[in-house]
Amino acid sequence: MTEPSPKAPSAGRPDAAATPSLADAVAALASHVEMLIEEGVRETELDRETLRELSRPPRRPTVSAPPASRPIASTPAGTPAPKPTEADLEAARRRLQEIAAEIAECRKCPLHRTRTQTVPGQGFPRPEILFVGEGPGQDEDRQGLAFVGRAGALLTRMITAMGLSREEVFIANVVKCRATENYAMVKDRAPTLDEMQACLPYLRAQIAVLRPQVIVTLGNAALEGLTGLKGITRLRGQWREYDGVPLLPTYHPAFLLRGGGDDTARYWDVWDDLCAVLRRIGREPPPRKRPAAG
């Protein structure tokens, strides 16, 4: 039996050609259901707009693949980068503001429908170190700032222990809107591949402006987003490259909090990674000591 030819678009309906056939819609829904099952989602609420969105083929990576990531055999101590000029800093600030404005208008994935505000990231416009996490949580969604909740407080203490301040580094995320289970804005979840791929062009544009000496990825999502690799437990502490920039994967502060927080074996694993970062940018790591309570 031959499949009937698709009907011609109706006059006066410019979007009719983009309307999927019944077979395509069912196949798309089945694909989305499979993805939800893989993510551990067992129940979801569907309104008409969400159902229409899910009836279209799932968004697969449509942006360019991440730059080839390769391991770095050794990381000799570097030298501090020369200070940027005020004109250079001002130009970088303006471009970062432009990217933030683009992010605020983004409608590329369903996360835009539930966000309170976007979280582009913040910090020094030409930092030695760029920290990249997974995505905003409840506190970040409310304030529009990256890493301001409990995990952010732990990251701040680690940055301070390095002899730096948050104002001297830049902190961002792979996705710029809060991802929650069933889009209910109650329980956070990891961003999906589609959501990361929709948002990654913004992070890549930010990195091109920031020109960091080192990128530190925090957790699995940031590692996968920038390198295409999975397995933070296996790859933690192993130097990679992103577009020529040394990149070091380490655990996410939220993971440390779930395991006991400061002064645990995992915390000291991360501390060793951060000391390697300091050496890479030509700074002497401070002596190892018990972190201050926060």
When computed from its CA atoms, the radius of gyration of the chain, rounded to whole angstroms, is: 21
> So what's the pLDDT on residue 275?
97
> So what's the pLDDT on residue 54?
53
Taking CA atoms, 43 is separated from 33, 181, 185, 247, 279, in Å, by: 10, 9, 15, 37, 48
pLDDT digits (tens, 9 = 90+) for 218-246: 999 999 999 999 999 999 999 999 999 99
Q: Where are the domains of the chain?
A: 20-54, 86-280
The pLDDT of 190-199, averaged and rounded, is 95
> So what's the pLDDT on residue 129?
98
pLDDT digits (tens, 9 = 90+) for 25-73: 555 565 555 544 444 445 555 556 555 555 554 444 334 456 656 676 5
Supply the CATH classification number for the domain 86-280. Answer: 3.40.470.10
Tokens of 40: 């551990």
> So what's the pLDDT on residue 253?
96
pLDDT digits (tens, 9 = 90+) for 239-280: 999 999 999 999 999 999 988 777 788 999 999 999 999 999
| pTM across the whole model | 0.75
> So what's the pLDDT on residue 83?
86
195 or 73: which leads in pLDDT: 195
Residue 285 has pLDDT above 90, yes or no: yes
Q: What is the mean pLDDT of the chain?
A: 82
196, with CB counted inside 10 A (0-12, 13-18, 19+), is buried
Q: Name the nearest CA neighbour of 215 among 244, 195, 179.
A: 244
> So what's the pLDDT on residue 82?
78
> So what's the pLDDT on residue 78?
65
Residue 104 has pLDDT above 70, yes or no: yes
| Tokens 């301001």, residue located | 148
> So what's the pLDDT on residue 165?
97
> So what's the pLDDT on residue 255?
94
> So what's the pLDDT on residue 77?
61
Q: How many whole angstroms separate alpha carbon 155 and alpha carbon 122? A: 14
Residue 116 has pLDDT above 70, yes or no: yes
pLDDT digits (tens, 9 = 90+) for 128-157: 999 999 999 999 999 999 999 999 999 999
> So what's the pLDDT on residue 288?
72
Residue 13 has pLDDT above 60, yes or no: no
pLDDT digits (tens, 9 = 90+) for 157-169: 999 999 999 999 9
> So what's the pLDDT on residue 64?
47
